Amino acid sequence: MTHDLSIVQLMLDASWVVQAVVLLLILMSVISWAAIFRKVFAIRRVQAHNEAFEREFWSGTNLNELYLAAAQSARHGGPMERIFASGMREYQKLRERRITDNGALLDGARRAMRASFQRELDALETNLSFLGTVGSVAPYVGLFGTVWGIMHAFTGLASLAQVTLATVAPGIAEALVATAIGLFAAIPAVVAYNRFAHDIDRVANAMETFMEEFSNILQRNLGQQGASEK
pLDDT in tens, 58-67: 888 888 888 8
For 50, other C-beta atoms within 10 Å of its C-beta total: 21
Residue 196: partners with Cβ closer than 8 Å, 6 or more residues away: 39, 43, 128, 131
**How many Å apart are CA 122 and CA 199, to the nearest integer?**
14
Q: Give 160's Cβ-side CA count (13 Å radius).
A: 12
pLDDT digits (tens, 9 = 90+) for 185-201: 999 999 999 999 999 99
pLDDT digits (tens, 9 = 90+) for 16-53: 777 888 899 999 999 999 999 999 999 999 999 999 99
Q: Give 118-187 as a DSSP string.
A: HHHHHHHTTTHHHHHHHHHHHHHHHHHHHHHHHHHHHHHHTT-SS--HHHHHHHHHHHHHHHHHHHHHHH
